[in-house]
Every structure is written in C-alpha cells, then in structure tokens.
C-alpha cells in the first residue's frame, strides 16, 4: 500500500507542476520538449501506482523508468537553480 501512495502522490504532484508549465504556452511561453518527457514520466508513475497493487516488482521497474524520465526535466532545472545561488 505504501508504494501505491508514494507513486500516486509523486505522479499527481509532478504531473500538475509540469501541466501548469505547459499551460503557460497558451500565454506565449516557449515549450521545452523535456516538459513533455517529464509529463510522460508522471503518467508512468500513475500507471505504476495502479500496477503496484497487483504486481509490485513490475511497478517498481516502471516507476524507476518514469522517475528517470522526469529527471530529464528536473535535473537540469535543479542544476541551473544551484548555480544561480
């Protein structure tokens, strides 16, 4: 039950964050292709949350791939934020 809650919470929070960034494109902000990869990673975490109830090992593998996909966006953003300090 704990993996279900963790995958679900991470998928919803990161998905909402990236979705709001993508919605800024309506106002004219440029779209970063890594945002789309991160959004797919969030969707992957939601699928992993569902799978964790039935097959925890497969869900863990999917969650790992989804987390790596999300880090394609969050890793460079984090590095840029640290260098600005």
pTM as predicted = 0.90
Q: Which residue has the tokens 């919605």?
A: 23
List CB contacts of 7: < 8 A, sequence separation 6 or more: 45, 46, 48, 49, 52, 59, 63
Per-residue buried b or exposed e for 45-64, using 16+ beta carbons within 10 Å of the residue's own CB? bbbbbebbeeeeeebeebbe
Q: What is the pLDDT of residues 66-85, one digit of tens each?
A: 999 999 999 998 999 999 88
CA separation for the pair 80, 30 (Å, rounded):
18
Instruction: Report the SS3 class of residue 31.
Output: coil
Q: What is the pLDDT of residues 7-20, one digit of tens each?
A: 999 999 999 999 99
| Domain regions of the chain by residue span | 2-83
């Amino acid at each position: 039950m704990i993996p279900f809650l963790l995958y679900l919470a991470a998928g919803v929070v990161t998905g909402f964050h990236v979705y709001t960034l993508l919605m800024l494109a309506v106002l004219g902000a440029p779209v970063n292709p890594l945002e789309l990869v991160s959004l797919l990673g969030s969707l992957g975490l939601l699928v992993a949350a569902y799978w964790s109830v039935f097959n925890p090992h497969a869900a863990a593998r999917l969650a790992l791939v989804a987390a790596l996909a999300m880090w394609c966006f969050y890793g460079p953003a984090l590095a840029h934020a640290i260098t600005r300090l």
